[in-house]
């Protein structure tokens, strides 16, 4: 019975795991978006647009797949 409680997570603090999941879900799209905006400002519009599109697709997939879990 003791091992079942450990697997259940009732006695463990799972706040760090939840924060890590959100960082994995939202970190890369934010980074790609920042890079894309910087590239657009530096007159490299095509590369900047590509990074912004990649950020949007990553966010869409992450919130769709990881958000369901």
Count of beta carbons in the 10 Å neighbourhood of residue 65: 10
Total domains in the fold of the chain = 1
Q: What is the pLDDT of residues 17-47, one digit of tens each?
A: 878 888 888 899 999 999 999 999 999 999 9
In a domain, 2, yes or no: no
More confident residue, 68 or 3: 68
In a domain, 1, yes or no: no
Kindly report the pTM of this predicted structure. Answer: 0.70
pLDDT of residue 35: 95
Percentage of residues in the chain having pLDDT higher than 90: 46
In a domain, 47, yes or no: yes
In a domain, 55, yes or no: yes
The parent domain of residue 49 ranges over 18-66
In a domain, 5, yes or no: no
In a domain, 34, yes or no: yes
- Mean pLDDT score across all residues of the chain: 81
pLDDT of residue 43: 92
In a domain, 32, yes or no: yes
In a domain, 4, yes or no: no
Q: Interior CA angle at 64 toward 56 and 59, to 5°?
A: 20
């Amino acid at each position: 019975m003791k091992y079942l409680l450990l697997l259940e997570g009732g006695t463990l603090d799972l706040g760090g795991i939840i924060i890590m999941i959100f960082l994995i879900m939202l970190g890369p799209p934010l980074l790609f978006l920042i890079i894309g905006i910087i590239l657009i400002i530096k007159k490299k519009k095509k590369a900047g647009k590509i990074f912004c599109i990649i950020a949007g697709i990553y966010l869409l997939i992450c919130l769709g797949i990881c958000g369901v879990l």
